[in-house]
């Protein structure tokens, strides 16, 4: 009778080997799946992070553009309104400038029109049709006015009464030199106060 025990053992060994190989394949498959899942999660995180960063940059750029647009509109809509006022209100704040006026040219400060012409050692100053001769050291006063500077049609940047004193300092190269004192009823930043002064005169704080 043939002994089948060795054959049975060989089959069992082969079966066990196949099972072990199958187990290893399953483990390798699970490992590959887990690595693929982790990689997919990392890629999704990176994509979301990049998307969030891109959104943040877009928002920042939009805000900057909006600020620029508002600034441009505010500048374009700057408006100065000046009306006459009866004197008597206190004007405790003073800002001093050294200014030059081109001769023979009408200069407008608020609603006041000024023309200066030199004559020998004097200067003829015409303020709203009122002519006076000035020598070096003499002064003229632009009577009290009320000024309002607005922007964006409704926002008031400055609201003050003011009076201007001009002290003649001499003439050179067809330019009349004055010390100009601007007296105001409230403290006004220089950048706003200069809105009253036309570009034709060179005004420098002193």
pLDDT value, residue 7 = 64
Q: How confident is the model at residue 88 (pLDDT cuts 50, 70, 90)?
A: confident
Who contacts 97 (Cβ-Cβ below 8 Å, separation ≥6)? 179, 180, 181, 182, 197, 203, 204, 205, 206
Per the prediction, the chain carries an average pLDDT of 87
pLDDT at position 14 over 80: no
Tell me, letter by letter, the H, E, C secondary structure of 42-103.
HHHHHHHHHHHHHHHHHHHHHHHHHHHHHHHHHHHCCEEEEEECCCCCCCCEEEEEEEEEEC
Same domain, 30 and 91: no
Same domain, 62 and 88: no
The 10s digit of each residue's pLDDT in 58-74 is 888 889 999 999 999 98
Say if residues 116 and 191 touch (Cβ distance below 8 Å): no
Same domain, 9 and 103: no
Same domain, 62 and 97: no
The residue out of 55, 76, 97 marking a domain boundary is 76
Q: Which residues form the domain of 182?
A: 81-205
Same domain, 88 and 52: no
The 10s digit of each residue's pLDDT in 139-165 is 999 999 999 999 998 899 889 999 999
Instruction: Count structural domains, the chain.
Output: 2
The 10s digit of each residue's pLDDT in 105-135 is 999 998 899 999 988 778 999 999 999 999 9
Same domain, 22 and 59: yes
Q: Which residue has the higher pLDDT, 50 or 182?
A: 182
The CA-atom distances, in angstroms, between 174 and each of 104, 105, 108, 112, 113 are: 9, 11, 18, 22, 19
Window from 10-14, 16-20, 94-98, 186-190 with minimum mean pLDDT: 10-14
pLDDT at position 1 over 60: no
Same domain, 162 and 180: yes
pLDDT value, residue 204 = 92
Same domain, 146 and 200: yes
pLDDT value, residue 52 = 63
Same domain, 88 and 135: yes
The residue out of 24, 46, 76 marking a domain boundary is 76
Token pair of 124, please?
Answer: 């003829």
Say if residues 163 and 156 touch (Cβ distance below 8 Å): no
Same domain, 67 and 93: no
pLDDT at position 11 over 70: yes
pLDDT value, residue 5 = 58
Same domain, 26 and 88: no
Same domain, 123 and 198: yes
The residue out of 36, 51, 76 marking a domain boundary is 76
Tokens 């220089």 appear where? 190
């Amino acid at each position: 009778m043939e002994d089948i025990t060795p054959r049975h053992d060989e089959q069992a060994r082969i079966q066990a080997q196949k099972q072990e190989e199958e187990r290893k394949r399953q483990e390798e498959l699970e490992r590959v799946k887990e690595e693929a899942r982790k990689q997919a999660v990392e890629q999704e995180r990176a994509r979301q992070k990049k998307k969030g960063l891109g959104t943040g940059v877009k928002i920042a750029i939009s805000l900057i553009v909006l600020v620029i647009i508002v600034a441009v509109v505010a500048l374009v809509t700057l408006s100065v309104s000046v009306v006459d006022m009866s004197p008597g209100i206190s004007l405790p704040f003073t800002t001093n400038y050294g200014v030059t006026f081109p001769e023979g040219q009408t200069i407008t400060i608020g609603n006041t029109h000024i023309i200066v012409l030199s004559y020998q050692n004097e200067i003829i100053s015409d303020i709203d049709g009122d002519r006076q001769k000035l020598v070096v050291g003499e002064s003229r006063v632009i009577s009290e006015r009320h000024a309002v500077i607005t922007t964006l049609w409704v926002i008031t940047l400055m609201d003050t009464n003011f009076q201007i004193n001009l002290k003649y300092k001499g003439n050179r190269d067809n330019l009349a030199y004055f010390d100009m004192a601007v007296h105001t009823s409230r403290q006004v930043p220089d950048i706003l106060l200069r809105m009253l002064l036309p570009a034709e005169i060179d005004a420098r704080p002193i």
